[in-house]
Amino acid sequence: MIITKMAIPRRTVLRGLGASLALPLLDAMVPALSVVTKAATRPTPRLGFVYIPNGANMLSWTPPTAGANFDLSPTLMPLAPYKNQLVVATGLSNKEADSQGDGSGEHPRASAGWLTGVHAKRTEGSDIQAGTSADQIAARELGKDTSLPSLEIGLESSYGVGNCNNGYACVYQGTVAWRTPTMPLPPEVNPRVVFERLFGEGGSTAERLSRMRTDASILDWVMEDTARLRTSLGSADQATVGQYLDAVREIERRIQKSEAKAAEATMPTTLQRPVGVPETYDEHAKLMYDLQWLAFQVDATRVFTFVMGRENGGQSYPASGVLDQHHGTSHHQNDPIKLEKLNKINKYHVTLLAYFLEKLRSTPEGDGTLLDRSMILYGAGLSDGDQHSHLQLPIVIVGGGAGQLKGNRHVEYVRDTPMSNLLLSVLDKVGVRAERLGDSTAPADL
């Protein structure tokens, strides 16, 4: 740790045996006596992509009015507190996920094409191919100054091999991030692994593993550095650091609790749930969102993808009030009972997004909040799951985009506008220039 009379460097970390803890932005990180004030510092943009599987009931998703000051739909009602920073985009499609002579396989093509705008190669082998995804294009630029160029997280393992859906390799339907057209980035589902990526740097592998096997907090390992830091900070910064450290300890406690329960439980050998994954989907989702919130807060990464569930998977969501599996429910055949269940599932996922947005909105940074600095694109690669349609996708964008995004709008694009057009615009809003992405024709007006 380096502290000067002028300022604390933005990249200051607290270090201990086998651990390092980055810090959030503090007043003391703005040079003393500088003409650059906290309010005038250039905002650092963050970009996130959250994927939901199996489409949505578009009748309940789509707002009844368009333009500014639109009326929220029933499914999107949990986003009401963030409406001033919300853009609902309709009319977007991913036609590259259509068959194009490859037969069925709508689910894997949906997720593989969501951020790439490319028709996935039909193969069960290792010769998989899609395209470089928007998040990775962003990571090449936004990740230059962070310890992690990007973070890929999820809630269902995607490490199956061979054919998972109509001749398509399993990896296609489990991830949306592609570093290159032939290099997918499967999401990490274990909160402990994500925690270690964020805070476990330093020391040998043996030292890190030793710490993981104890009940000690990572904060105990950086205690001396923490004490030295606090003597140099003003009262406002001390409060910020205290709140941040409390959040780290609470998240770590939840991970340890999950690990303890997993160690005590007798798991069927067919249930390949890694140690550290909470018992319920609800706990798991919120814990992963909290880890991403910490990652943004300490600027460990500025780009993430979060896969809320595998396409065509067997996940159910009891906390939504629906015990039926999501995929089966999405094949509603216009049955009013199934449609109502699908509405509950869709709204439940949006409620989890709202949980994350509140974390961002409640975290100050500079003269704004983390939500002001962020753009979170949320949606699916399918619309009507019953018809396996890739047209008129459910898409919303939330956040201030570091001053680049105007909210409180329902933007209706010309029917079947490529979603990749919107992705070009999203990249442009965070300062990343891309002439083309997949099947894009021109940046969408955002």
DSSP 183-251: EE-PPB--HHHHHHHHH--SS-HHHHHHHHTSS--HHHHTHHHHHHHHTTS-HHHHHHHHHHHHHHHHH
Average pLDDT, integer, range 380-406: 96
314 & 394 share domain: yes
Give the domain range for residue 217.
1-42+204-276
151 & 67 share domain: yes
pLDDT at 270 over 50: no
The CATH number covering residue 77 comes to: 3.40.720
Residue 437 covered by a domain:
no
Distance CA 112, CA 129 (A): 9
Q: Which residues of 269-294 are buried (b: 16+ CB within 10 A; e: fewer)?
A: eeeebebbbbeebbbbbbbbbbbbbb
Helices then strands (H, E): number in the chain? 13, 18
Residue 178 covered by a domain:
yes
Q: What is the pLDDT of residues 348-386, one digit of tens each?
A: 999 999 999 999 999 999 899 999 999 999 999 999 999
222 & 185 share domain: no
pLDDT at position 160 is 58
pLDDT at position 258 is 73
Which residue among 233, 250, 276 closes a domain? 276
Higher-pLDDT residue of 300, 246: 300
pLDDT at position 265 is 53
pLDDT at position 2 is 39
Tokens linked to 121: 């190669």
Average pLDDT, integer, range 130-159: 92
265 & 395 share domain: no
83 & 161 share domain: yes
Identity of the amino acid at 13: V
Which residue among 232, 260, 276 closes a domain? 276
pLDDT at 231 over 90: no
44-53, 150-159, 405-414: segment of lowest average pLDDT? 150-159
Answer yes or no: are the C-beta atoms of 92 and 413 closer than 8 Å: yes
Distance CA 118, CA 97 (A): 7
pLDDT at 3 over 50: no
Q: Is the pTM of this model over 0.85?
A: yes
Identity of the amino acid at 335: D
pLDDT at position 41 is 57
Residue 440 covered by a domain:
no
Residue 248 covered by a domain:
yes
CA atoms within 13 A on the CB side of 157: 11
Higher-pLDDT residue of 391, 160: 391
Average pLDDT over the chain, rounded to an integer: 86
pLDDT at 264 over 70: no
Answer yes or no: are the C-beta atoms of 49 and 305 closer than 8 Å: yes
β-strand partners of 153: 188, 306
Average pLDDT, integer, range 417-428: 98
CA atoms within 13 A on the CB side of 382: 27
Residues 6+ apart with CB under 8 A from 57: 75, 332, 339, 342, 343, 346
Distance CA 395, CA 183 (A): 25
Average pLDDT, integer, range 193-212: 64
128 & 230 share domain: no
Residue 175 covered by a domain:
yes
Distance CA 201, CA 20 (A): 5
343 & 386 share domain: yes
272: pLDDT confidence band, cut at 50, 70 and 90? very low
241 & 333 share domain: no
Report the range out of 157-171, 241-255, 278-292 with the highest average pLDDT. 278-292
pLDDT at position 269 is 43
445: pLDDT confidence band, cut at 50, 70 and 90? very high
Residue 435 covered by a domain:
no
Higher-pLDDT residue of 446, 203: 446
61 & 163 share domain: yes
Q: What is the pLDDT of residues 63-87, one digit of tens each?
A: 999 999 999 999 999 999 999 999 9
Distance CA 125, CA 115 (A): 22
pLDDT at position 277 is 86
74 & 148 share domain: yes
Average pLDDT, integer, range 124-129: 90
58 & 156 share domain: yes
30 & 64 share domain: no
pLDDT at position 36 is 45
pLDDT at 32 over 70: no
Distance CA 230, CA 245 (A): 12
pLDDT at 326 over 60: yes
250: pLDDT confidence band, cut at 50, 70 and 90? confident
Residue 199 covered by a domain:
no
Which residue among 259, 276, 293 closes a domain? 276
Total tally of structural domains belonging to the chain: 2
Average pLDDT, integer, range 343-351: 98
pLDDT at position 260 is 72
Distance CA 433, CA 443 (A): 11
37-41, 190-194, 339-343: segment of lowest average pLDDT? 37-41
Average pLDDT, integer, range 161-173: 80
Nearest C-alpha neighbor of 393 from the set 352, 357, 423, 358: 423
pLDDT at position 299 is 92
Average pLDDT, integer, range 197-221: 60
pLDDT at position 366 is 87
Higher-pLDDT residue of 240, 352: 352
pLDDT at 159 over 90: no
Residue 442 covered by a domain:
no
Tokens linked to 225: 């550095």
Strand 86-93 with 409-418, pairing:
parallel
Q: What is the pLDDT of residues 88-117, one digit of tens each?
A: 999 999 999 999 999 999 999 999 999 999
Higher-pLDDT residue of 65, 229: 65
Distance CA 42, CA 62 (A): 35
